Structure formats: C-alpha cells, structure tokens
Amino acid sequence: MDSILVTGNGPLSGQIPIAGAKNACLTLMPATLLSEDPLTLTNAPRLSDIRTMTALLQSLGAEVTSLQNGQVLAMSSHAINNHVADYDIVRKMRASNLVLGPMLARLGHAVVSLPGGCAIGARPMDLHIHGLEALGAEIELRDGYLHAKAPGGLKGAVVEFSFASVGATENVMMAATLAKGTTVLKNAAREPEIVDLATCLRQMGAQIEGDGTPEIIIQGVDRLHGATHPVVTDRIELGTYMLAPAIAGGEVELLGGRIDLVGAFCEKLDAAGIAVEETERGLKVARRNGRISAVDVTTEPFPGFPTDLQAQMMALLCTADGTSVLEERIFENRFMHAPELMRMGARIDVQGGTATVTGVERLKGAPVMATDLRASVSLILAALAAEGETVVSRVYHLDRGYENVERKLQAVGARIERIKD
C-alpha cells in the first residue's frame, strides 16, 4: 500500500484549486437513474469513490463516460437491465445506497446491499427505509440486502426525520420526484449538497422547493428529462486546505472557495487567530500573528461545524495556545486519529464523544497510520508543521476523497511525496 512522506519545512505560499464536491457528485450520479435521457455533470472530482459509483451504475446497465480528463461525466440510463446493487461494489462506499430511491421510483423495485465506507460509526439505513416506506414502498432485509418494491407506485406523503440525515434526505427526495402527489420532508438536512441535488433535479424537470431549509416540498411529476449540471465546490476539501497555512504558516489562496459553504468553520478559524479574506477568485487564508489560540468545537449538521472537518481541526489545535474541547455529535467513533496524532507528540484525552486537546509548542514527525478518509488528511496537515519526517501509511483512504493531494500541496511549497509500495 502507498504511503505519504511529509517533511515539515515552514510557511506555505501560492494557490490551490478546489475540486467539485465528492459528496455532491456521489449524490448527483444516481439521479441519472430517474430518467431515460442523458445527464451530464461538469466540475466532477477525480476520485476513487467516483470510480466506484461509476462501476455501480454501469453494473445496473447505465452508460457512464468520463470526459475531459475525468472532470465531465456523461451518463445515460435509457437501458437499465439490472435492479440489484451487489455487495462487492456497495461494500466499498456508503453513498452506494443512494441508488435505492431512484430505482424504486422509476423501476418500482430494487435490491440493494447494505453499504460500507469508512468505519466511523453505525450510520444505519433506518431513516432511508422509514422515508421510502412512508411513500408506499415495501422493504425487507434479507441476507444483507434491502429488497424494496412499490407495487402500486410511490405516493406523496409527509415524512418527518428524527435526525436531519443527509443521505436519507437525498434518497427520499429523489424518490419523491416521480411519486404521485406531494411529498413534504420535515427536519430535512440543509447541507449545500442537498441544495445542489435539488438544483440539478429541477433542471431535469422536478418540482422542488424549500431546499436549504428544514422543510422540503416535492410535487411529483410523470417523468424527468436530461440536463447538464456543474458540481458544487467541495466545502470539505476547501476547509482542509484552508487549514494548511493555518497550521504551517504563510498565505494560500483557495481558488473557487466560498465563505457561505464554510461559515461556521470560518468563525472558529477567526476565533483561533486565522484571517480569511474573500478574493475575486476564492478565499485567501493566513495566520494573523504568532501561535494560534485554543477554541472549542462541537460538530453539528449544516450550517453548524462539519463533522468531516473535525479531524483536520484537531490537527490545528494540537499546537494551539491553551486547551481546546472537541465534541463529536454526529458519529460515535470518530476520534481514531487522536492516538496517531499523539504519536507525533500531541496531548489529547478522549472520553466518549469528547476530546480535550492541550496544545504543545511543536509536533514531531513519526510513522502514523490513516484510519479513515478525513483522519488521513489530518495527519498530513499535522506533519506540515512537525519537526522532521512523518510517514502516513494506509493512504488508500485518502484517495477516496482528495485528488492530487501531493501535487496541490507541493504547489504551495510543502515537502510531500507519495511512496509507492
């Protein structure tokens, strides 16, 4: 397995282009199953997760063509010939479950394996099932597969989620576009990826309003048509690279960055002593003066602080002046990076869903191991400001969510390289 070698070497300077959002693209791709007409996505990220979703859609009979070096995905689902999403593909990635709603809506039946992905918590399918059953689906779990059918077709209903689940909101919203009548989603997720999906579905002819608020209203239509849609900027990649100059020093401009995508995150950076400035091309980030200040962080659904930036923020706070408390409220098993940061000299005490981080003057390079996608990049960020060399192993996680990490950081002066096994 590949490793990443990082040698801490001081301030960074330059520009980093931010890709299209992985989580948005993985949601938009299954939307092709809702229509016989072509759906084209531009600004697509070039990631292993995108290749996994491509393989899943192709296994169902969809045509997926990668154009312009992978940044354009041309899809067509006019000849779906399989309704089973097989375990061998679905186990690799949580977002695979998003084919369930579209297939159920258009075909009237689907068999989808329970999904995989990073081991950061249970992330059950119960909210997805609850929402689809409210629309009239009959769903049974057998041998690790969800067997779903809608013998009388899907019908609009009021669906109230007990938790503002992003995946469940996306799955039920896609299904509802072809349901008969009106569907109201209450306590719906508000993430930018939800808004991006709704925007794309409207371009395909769906009638959706209220996206970006806790109540989304969908008026079902008989069919959807094709569209071309640009994938929204990846706010998690954006936040990750905003932390690079915050940790290592210097000034970096993030091309394509938007403050509205990372508002709560920017508030914490400001409190820590990091300046974020809007430019014509994106966002410019620099540490104000000296050592950063400790801040407390609680992860929450959007527009709160993203759970997907918690590990990276912990890396920053490892060298803060004072003690920070990070509370993880989204996933119950998301501090696996803490022991690895401690190998680099960090002082972290984890008790259940709370991590207390007491800042040290300097971290030291060490061999560390990535445990999940966001944990892997948090170790790379920490290594940028550590003394000596850090080798991050098991970086196959990294390639699921970040394209060209080494090249992007090398472009702003980081000493980083990939070691082929």
Catalytic residue IDs: 118
Edge-first strand listing for the sheet containing 354-358 = 297-298, 323-327, 354-358, 347-351
- Give me the amino acid identity at 84: V
- Whose tokens are 């992330």? That residue is 123
Q: Is 23 annotated as a binding residue?
A: yes
Question: What are the φ and ψ backbone dihedral angles of 304, each rounded to 5 degrees?
Answer: -75, -175
Q: Is 222 annotated as a binding residue?
A: no
Q: Is 94 annotated as a binding residue?
A: yes
Q: Is 22 annotated as a binding residue?
A: yes
Q: Is 127 annotated as a binding residue?
A: yes
Are the beta carbons of 228 and 40 closer than 8 angstroms?
yes
- Nearest residue to 163 via CA among 30, 331, 352, 327: 331
Tokens of 381: 């960020």
Q: Is 123 annotated as a binding residue?
A: yes
| Binding residue positions for UDP-N-acetyl-alpha-D-glucosamine | 94, 123-127, 308, 330
| Binding residue positions for phosphoenolpyruvate | 22-23
| Binding residue positions | 22-23, 94, 123-127, 308, 330
